[in-house]
Structure 1
């Protein structure tokens, strides 16, 4: 399976620009892996890259930074997958200092944006290459090969461009909590954070604007394993409840094993200053701290003053769905208060 047409098409849109022919030994510094372009067989796969030039990753999401790059500066290149290994050997890529997992609509973008405001931090927010490589793994690539590619791609994402960068943080897509074991095989010593929130607030946010994971058929089924169900066709709220429950359930054993630092939405942004910065070995200057605190009052996705979420309508029907998800949420809460 090559992934759903919608996801694949979204990835292809990232590779719009002047095409640069690849050549053996080509210097790919300043280029970033976007996704794997699939052929009839896995051996026909190619890596799509984009050169970023002077464009810096400071936006809420990886794709937002690509969209901000001026059209006349966009250059793309397709290489063999082995080019990732060549890039990794240059030694310019920082290994990740943290993986940020989350349930979506829970403050994870605020966390990543606060860290991205620091010049010493490389923050990659939901880079599509990771999802593309995970799909490649689920479609039959040998485990050792897919783990190696994941490692090489993440190192390429962490390339130092100014020389001031000392930390590299990856914020993953929410469904990647189901792939935590694979990512830990690539980087076993990288700390993992898990940001979450009460179910009703998450579900209400998706009712207003649904993420792809909350729409049946948008994701590779192996990346979002769900229990058998008898939901009526078009019951998107019910489906969102199943997805959210799966994210809580997937996080629980890792949190219980001490592999996840649990962060609740209500702890943000204060926990960044009281715990996360020290935990990640980041020492901002007083001016940087002041700028971070100011950034904490701005909507992480839209850059406007944050006024809180709108209230949930009493007739929405979400309360009953949220109640079914509540046990997984409460289990995480019990662990968090013990950490």
Structure 2
């Protein structure tokens, strides 16, 4: 893409801070890759890093942790791509988390983040930036190597007690699952989804970037041909959600995704997921997970359920058209 879209503009805001010049051999421990970008004039690709020191990833999203860092402590460094390859001792991901958005994926990551032995990265923007570079012409072999290096850099051990790592991708990254799996072929992949009307209603209240035309690199969110009236954001959200459900189905049918329905949370996190991933927790840690499961995943307030959709929204009819895609995943989940 030649023109910057909404997410690239957001990434620029993340690069605010005191600039630290990069030097070959520089110790990058405590630094985290934020995004990669290609210089329009020279064609060279660089990586922007932020020094987070010991700041834990306890917020619902990676960018929330960046925003929590005091302004006077923010340090930024721009490096060549080669700097990504200096974290061979980083934790390999124990699981990749894919999702359709507004379906409990943030709740799951927040439950895991209560465990001190787990490093949980929720939608780190460097992944999206590397995928954009891939779709703009970077050779597949280079893209896979860089994605692997970036994930190992994200999986840094900072306290010495970390033993497990989880990466939650943006919802549109399900369209790139085949490429992402090549970075870590043996890593289990989870896919969270939810009844379509509830997802659409949540986006009607507060739209995610994927539900606004033009916010994403078009290759990252391939959509079928559609004819919508200008400004029909609800209709566009329906097309996007349909594409996410459809993209997951063949991978799930091939046994490449563990399907998790929103209504299985939070209990399945400690009843099924932890044992499957061989994560042992103490009684105190389990209690902390249970307490976190009772509050809103994004806001930390008591959760009493979502508000119903607006009565004149037309969402029930739209959700009915998506029911087949949702039910196909349900049939696969229940049949396994």
TM-score normalised by the chain length of structure 1: 0.97
The reply to whether residue 200 of structure 1 matches residue 187 of structure 2 is no
The reply to whether residue 96 of structure 1 matches residue 61 of structure 2 is no
Aligned-partner Cα distance in 2 for 1:41–1:146: 21
**1:53 positional shift:** 1.2
Of 33-42 and 101-110, deviating more is 33-42
Aligned-partner Cα distance in 2 for 1:189–1:81: 25
Of 199-208 and 318-327, deviating more is 318-327
Q: 2:261 aligns with which of 261, 264, 275?
A: 264
Encode CA deviations 1:256-277: one digit per residue, 9 max, x unaligned: 0111000000000010111000
Does structure 2 retain, via aligned residues, the 8 Å contact 1:32–1:50? Answer: yes
**1:76 positional shift:** 0.4
Aligned-partner Cα distance in 1 for 2:329–2:172: 17
Alignment of 1:69-218 (within 5 A): 69-85=69-85, 87-89=86-88, 91=89, 93-218=90-215
Aligned-partner Cα distance in 2 for 1:54–1:124: 15
The reply to whether residue 292 of structure 1 matches residue 289 of structure 2 is yes
**Residue 30 of structure 1 aligns with which residue?**
30
The reply to whether residue 314 of structure 1 matches residue 311 of structure 2 is yes
**Residue 62 of structure 2 aligns with which residue?**
62
Aligned-partner Cα distance in 1 for 2:42–2:250: 33
Does structure 1 retain, via aligned residues, the 8 Å contact 2:5–2:217? Answer: no
Give unmatched runs, 5+ long, in structure 1: none
Distance 1:186 1:2, change over 3 A: farther
Encode CA deviations 1:26-57: one digit per residue, 9 max, x unaligned: 01011000001321268411100000012111
Aligned-partner Cα distance in 2 for 1:131–1:34: 10
Does structure 2 retain, via aligned residues, the 8 Å contact 1:3–1:135? Answer: no
Aligned-partner Cα distance in 2 for 1:103–1:311: 19
Encode CA deviations 1:115-153: one digit per residue, 9 max, x unaligned: 000000000000000000000000000110011000000
**Residue 221 of structure 1 aligns with which residue?**
218
Distance 1:160 1:28, change over 3 A: same
**1:319 positional shift:** 1.0
Q: 1:237 aligns with which of 234, 241, 253?
A: 234
The count of residues paired between Structure 1 and Structure 2 equals 336
**1:219 positional shift:** 0.5
Aligned-partner Cα distance in 2 for 1:253–1:42: 40
**1:84 positional shift:** 0.6
Does structure 1 retain, via aligned residues, the 8 Å contact 2:22–2:77? Answer: yes
Q: Secondary structure at the match of 1:101?
A: strand
Aligned-partner Cα distance in 2 for 1:94–1:118: 15
Distance 1:5 1:135, change over 3 A: same
Aligned-partner Cα distance in 2 for 1:5–1:252: 29
Encode CA deviations 1:197-224: one digit per residue, 9 max, x unaligned: 0000000000000000000111011110
Aligned-partner Cα distance in 1 for 2:311–2:8: 38
Aligned-partner Cα distance in 1 for 2:287–2:211: 37
Aligned-partner Cα distance in 2 for 1:13–1:319: 38
Does structure 2 retain, via aligned residues, the 8 Å contact 1:2–1:139? Answer: no
Aligned-partner Cα distance in 2 for 1:334–1:306: 29
Q: Secondary structure at the match of 2:146?
A: helix
